[in-house]
Structure 1
Amino acid sequence: MTTTSVPKTPTRTAKPVTLSSKKPRRQGSVVLTVLTALVALYSLFPLIWLLINSTKTQDGLFSSFGLWFDDGKFALFSNIADTFTYNDGIFLRWLGNTLIYVVAGAGGATFLALLAGYGLAKFDFVGKKAVFAIVIGAVAVPPTALAVPTFLMFSKMGLTNTPWAVIIPSLISPFGLYLMWTFAAQAVPTEMLEAARVDGAGEFRTLFRLSVPLLMPGIVTTLLFTMVATMNNYFLPLIMLKNPDWYPLTVGLNSWNAQAATAGGEAVFNLVITGSLITVVLLLAAFLSLQRYWQSGLAAGSVKE
Structure 2
Amino acid sequence: MSSPLTTASPAAPASTSGAGRGAPRLRGTRRHSPDRPRRSLLLTVLTSLIVLYTVVPLVWLVINATKTQAGLADSSGMWFADDFALWDNIRDTFTYHDGVFTRWLLNTLLYVVLGAGGATLLAVLGGYALAKFDFPGKRGVFATVIGAVAVPGTALAVPTFLMFSKMGLTDTPWAVIIPSLVSPFGLYLMWVFATEAIPAELLEAARIDGAGEARTFFTVALPLLAPGIVTVLLFTTVATWNNYFLPLIMLKDPDWYPLTLGLSAWNSQAETVGGEVIFNLVITGSLVTILPLIAAFLLLQKYWQSGLAAGSVKE
TM-score higher than 0.5 here?
A: yes
1:279-294 → structure 2 map (5 Å cutoff): 279-294=289-304
Q: 228, 231, 234: which is aligned to 2:241? A: 231
Partner of 2:66: 55
Say if 1:61 and 1:270, in contact at 8 Å, map to a contact too. yes
Q: Does 1:133 align with 2:171?
A: no
1:182–1:262: structure 2 CA closer, same or farther, 3 Å change rule? Answer: same
Say which SS state the counterpart of residue 264 (structure 1) adopts: coil
Q: 2:193, 2:310 within 8 Å by CA — same for their partners in 1?
A: no
The reply to whether residue 210 of structure 1 matches residue 228 of structure 2 is no
Q: Which deviations, in whole Å up to 9, do the C-alpha atoms of 1:262-302 show, x marking residues without a partner?
A: 011001101001000011111111112222433368999xx
Aligned to 2:192: 182
Structure 2: how far apart are the matches of 1:178 and 1:298?
14
**Alignment partner of 1:151 is 2:166:** no
What does residue 106 of structure 2 align with?
A: 96
> TM-score with structure 2 length normalisation?
0.85
* 1:139-167 deviations in Å (ceiling 9; x for gaps): 01110111111111111111111000000
- Once the two structures are superposed, what CA deviation does each residue of 1:64-84 show, in whole Å capped at 9, x if it has no partner? 1111111x2011111000000
CA, structure 1 residues 191+84, in 2 after alignment: closer, same or farther (shift >3 Å)? same
Counterpart Cα distance in 1 of 2:38 and 2:148: 44
User: Which residue identity is paired with 2:65?
Assistant: S
Q: Distance in 1 between matches of 2:236 and 2:39?
A: 37
Residue 124 of structure 2: which of 114, 119, 144 is its match? Answer: 114
Amino acid at match of 2:242: N
CA-based RMSD of the aligned residues comes to 2.4
CA distance in 1, matches of 2:114, 2:298: 21
Counterparts of 2:310 and 2:278, CA distance in 1 = 50
What's the CA shift string for 1:180-222, capped at 9, x where partnerless? 0000000000000000000011111111111111111111110
Residue 34 of structure 1 pairs with residue 45 of structure 2: yes
Rg larger in structure: 2
Segments ≥4 residues shifted beyond 4 Å: 296-300
Partners in 1 of 2:230 and 2:173 — Cα distance?
Answer: 25
CA-CA distance at 1:36 after TM superposition: 2.2
Residue in 2 that maps onto 1:197: 207
Distance 1:30 1:145 in 2: 40
Distance 1:90 1:99 in 2: 14
Contact 1:107 1:223 in 2 (8 A): yes
TM-score norm. by structure 1 comes to: 0.88
Report the residue type matching 1:125 in the other structure.
F
Counting aligned pairs with the same residue, the percent is 69
SS across alignment from 1:59: helix
Question: Contact 1:214–1:298 (CA<8 Å) still a contact in 2?
Answer: no
